[in-house]
Amino acid sequence: MFAIVNYFIKNKLAKEVFWSFSTKGVSFLLYLSLNIYLARTLKVEKYGMWSFFYSIFTIILFFSCFGISSSAQKYIAQYSGTEKLSVVLKNSLKLGLIFNLAFAFLLFFIHNFLANLIGRPEFATLFLFSSVLILSAGFLELLKNIFIGLHRIRFNFIIALIEFGLKLILTIVFLNFSLKLLSVLSSFVGATTISFTIGVYLLYKNFYNKSMLPEKEDFTKDILKYSLPLFVVGINYLVLTEIDTVMLGLLSTDREVGIYAVAKQIAGNLPHISLAMAMGVMPVFAKLNKENKKELERLFHSLLKRNFYIFLPIAVTLLFFSGFFIPFIFGIKYLPSVLPLRILTLYVICLSFLVFFDAFLNYQQLVRKRVVNMSISMAINIILNIFLIPKYGAVGTAIATAVSQIPCTILNWREVRKQFSCELLTSK
């Protein structure tokens, strides 16, 4: 036991993986607990309404980030430990603030129009208050990516514990006063505001005030330029992860959305296990070159093998035991969620591997390859949803989501293999 502890203390990469798993573990448990409470308290229809609204908000939040967070992570990882880091940090924060502010004001002015556009005028107040959440949640996402690039994932653990812990606590408190969706939204605003404030303090104390060298370079254009293909990829990713709930809300009932939301909460969060490994390890691939290619290739295949061993028992559990744990955890009214979850097992497996493929291609600046591959899956997803939702509801959405992941997974894996076999890698 002492040897294991000593290994984690001395091995930097192992420490990052440990903090990654701790961060994702606490996030998953607290967020799952939050959704269990929401599902039981709000009941199926109202929980479906919240899931529909929050999927739309997630899409808006993505547009407000404009790919800046992921682009900043790449440049911060690349220049970490150099005198240019301070400039990269300043430029990243400046861009994040500009885009989040712009979209917050935009949502403030169009909240009524947006609610009427989707046929949900009752969402107008929620969209209005969401303009505040755009600022706090958007900036919080940027900080998380910055800490990943800096290899300071322990700070993400602190932020995650505070954010999701407060979301759960405040939601319980606010819903005891009023069973309105605005109560849930208010708890999210409070939790993210406190979390990003603490995150800014951690960044400033540990990095931002350490390097006051004159700014000889400006990375604003570089970060913005690289964010554009990431933004396009993100649009495709949103289609693969959020359009299912949005289309179900538009083409079916709140009850079907609520049924599907329970299955999606479980299936969508399980790949965070893979993301935890990727957070701690994948930044090293930003410096892939001809000299270290073989070593990093072995590391990459080792990650995939471990991912397989982790998700094999998870897949078996979802397929054979979901009929027991869903009614027990969420309530008997959510028994129809079992079949969609079993179908989404394929989605879970594909997404768990895509986490590594996508991260690798990002660090190799091959985002355009991802755009093409994800566009294929995006088109399949939309077409299948249009045909399957009216007839099969939540089950149809689960089929469309699971099947559409297959092409992207296979094509991205081919691109990764092609990059490792390439002899033209240059020193970075």
| Residue 301 banded pLDDT, cuts 50, 70, 90 | confident
Q: Which of 48-52, 59-63, 345-349, 398-402 bottoms out in mean pLDDT, i.e. has the lowest?
A: 59-63
Q: For 278-298, what is each residue's pLDDT tens digit?
A: 876 777 777 677 777 788 888
The C-alpha atoms of residue 95 and residue 85 are separated, in whole angstroms, by 15
Q: Which of 62-76, 201-215, 220-234, 362-376 bottoms out in mean pLDDT, i.e. has the lowest?
A: 201-215
Q: Name residue, tokens 């077409």.
A: 383
Range among 6-10, 163-167, 265-269, 414-418 with highest mean pLDDT value: 163-167
Residue 350 has pLDDT above 70, yes or no: yes
The C-alpha atoms of residue 382 and residue 8 are separated, in whole angstroms, by 45
The C-alpha atoms of residue 334 and residue 295 are separated, in whole angstroms, by 47
Q: How far is CA 349 from CA 189, 307, 315, 353, in A?
A: 33, 9, 8, 7
Q: For 70-82, what is each residue's pLDDT tens digit?
A: 888 888 888 877 7
Q: Give, rounded to a whole angstrom, the gap between the first and last alpha carbons of the chain.
A: 38
Closest CA to 23 of 12, 31, 34: 31
What does the domain layout of the chain look like in residue ranges? 14-227, 242-428
Residue 424 has pLDDT above 60, yes or no: no
- How far from the centroid of its chain's Cα atoms is residue 227's Cα? 16
Q: For 311-335, what is each residue's pLDDT tens digit?
A: 999 999 999 999 999 999 999 999 9
The C-alpha atoms of residue 402 and residue 381 are separated, in whole angstroms, by 9
- The chain-wide mean pLDDT, for the chain, equals 86
- pLDDT at position 4 is 45
Q: Within a 10 A sphere around the Cβ of 387, how many other Cβ atoms? A: 12
- pLDDT at position 360 is 85
Which residues lie below 8 Å from residue 345, measured CB to CB, with a gap of 6+? Answer: 267, 315, 318, 319, 402
Q: How far is CA 33 from CA 55, 282, 328, 391, in A?
A: 19, 29, 13, 32
Helices (H), 66-84: 68-79
- pLDDT at position 427 is 42
Dig out the tokens for 122 from the structure: 């009752």
Which residues lie below 8 Å from residue 66, measured CB to CB, with a gap of 6+? Answer: 99, 227, 231
Radius of gyration of the chain (CA): 21
| Residue 240 banded pLDDT, cuts 50, 70, 90 | low
Residue 426 has pLDDT above 50, yes or no: no
- pLDDT at position 7 is 47
- pLDDT at position 294 is 80
- pLDDT at position 20 is 76
pTM reported for the whole predicted model? 0.82
Q: For 177-220, what is each residue's pLDDT tens digit?
A: 988 999 999 999 999 999 999 998 988 887 765 444 455 677 88
Decide which of 237 and 159 is more confident.
159
Residue 113 has pLDDT above 70, yes or no: yes
- pLDDT at position 104 is 93
- Residue 225, burial from CB neighbour count under 10 angstroms (0-12, 13-18, 19+): exposed
- pLDDT at position 89 is 86
Q: How far is CA 297 from CA 68, 304, 314, 403, 411, in A?
A: 28, 11, 26, 29, 18
The C-alpha atoms of residue 255 and residue 246 are separated, in whole angstroms, by 13
| Residue 101 banded pLDDT, cuts 50, 70, 90 | very high
Q: Is there a contact between 363 and 78 (Cβ–Cβ < 8 Å)?
A: no
The C-alpha atoms of residue 287 and residue 82 are separated, in whole angstroms, by 14
| Residue 221 banded pLDDT, cuts 50, 70, 90 | confident
Residue 378 has pLDDT above 80, yes or no: yes
- pLDDT at position 215 is 56
Residue 397 has pLDDT above 60, yes or no: yes
- pLDDT at position 319 is 95
Mean pLDDT throughout 257-261? 96
